[in-house]
Amino acid sequence: MPETPDTNADIWKSAEGISSWMSTADDRERRRAEQRRLLADLLQFDDGETFTFADLGAGTGAAARSVLDRYPGASAILADYSPQMMAEGKKALAPYQGRYRYVEFDLAHSEWPAEMPARLAATISSLSVHHLPDERKQQLFAEIRSRLAPGGWYLNYDAVAADDPAVEAVWQRANDRRDPASAHKRAHRTPEEQRRYENHVRYIIPLDRQIGFLRAAGFEAVDVFWKELDYVIYGGRRPVTGT
């Protein structure tokens, strides 16, 4: 873990940080579209069912849009802590007017907004949980479980770390073959790009630990539904019976 301070707020609550992120958003979302469609397909709802789900750390709502597209009866509560990201999200979500609302929620803290229902049919997160330290990941998973309706699912699409340097080297080599420019970019980061990179990876941990956190929080039917190199979709459901 880098010894430099956590600067998430500096990045995600600044006009400069959001502008930099948005400049590559279209390409990034194209590459992630298939995984987000799978995230939607994994949710256990009938095609015409009406339900409300939460997207935590929603950003501009890319994951939520996949669910809204898949289920015409769905409504979304998008939780994020960056006013700038929410402003960009409202532009992207214009076609879904009346089917979503944003609430301000910093995932680093346990104070869930009053606007968030006490019971949710499902919860998703996409590329946000990796920004949290381990203790907060564990707390958040328990909080998510407590707010799901019995039988409700939580699914997370996120990055993971390798617990073996040889595996990490394989991942990096494969990624470099897919994007031949990535090695050059990695070796020639500006100080600002290096700062953003360090902040991105500081809390990323191996998959097994995250699966353990989910089970310890009381989820059942826990599985890794998709994995490719350092990205995964995993999740589980709140038991149908019991507390």
pLDDT tens digits, 135-156: 999 999 999 999 999 999 999 9
Instruction: Kindly indicate the confidence band of residue 99, based on its pLDDT and cuts at 50, 70 and 90.
Output: very high
Query: What pLDDT, on the 0 to 100 scale, is given for residue 119?
Result: 95
**96, 37, 41, 46: which is closest to 66 by C-alpha?**
37
Enumerate residues 6+ apart whose C-beta is below 8 A from 206: 160, 161, 162, 163
Express each pLDDT in 190-238 by its tens digit: 888 888 888 889 999 999 999 999 999 999 999 999 999 999 999 999 9
Query: What pLDDT, on the 0 to 100 scale, is given for residue 150?
Result: 97
CA atoms of 155 and 235, how far apart (whole Å): 4
Query: What pLDDT, on the 0 to 100 scale, is given for residue 23?
Result: 62
Q: Which H or E element spans position 176?
A: helix 165-178
Query: What pLDDT, on the 0 to 100 scale, is given for residue 194?
Result: 83
Residue with tokens 């532009």, as numbered in its chain: 91
Query: What pLDDT, on the 0 to 100 scale, is given for residue 29?
Result: 79
State the number of CA atoms in the 13 A half-sphere of 75 facing the CB. 12
CA atoms of 75 and 93, how far apart (whole Å): 12
Average pLDDT over residues 50-65: 96
CA atoms of 18 and 16, how far apart (whole Å): 6
Q: Which two tokens stand for residue 152?
A: 């409700």
> Do residues 216 and 237 make contact, with C-beta atoms less than 8 angstroms apart?
no
For residue 57, pLDDT over 80 is answered with: yes
Cα separations in angstroms, 14 against 83, 104, 114, 203: 9, 16, 26, 21
Domains in the chain: ranges and CATH = 8-164+200-237 (3.40.50.150)
For residue 46, pLDDT over 70 is answered with: yes
Average pLDDT over residues 85-90: 92
Query: What pLDDT, on the 0 to 100 scale, is given for residue 10?
Result: 56
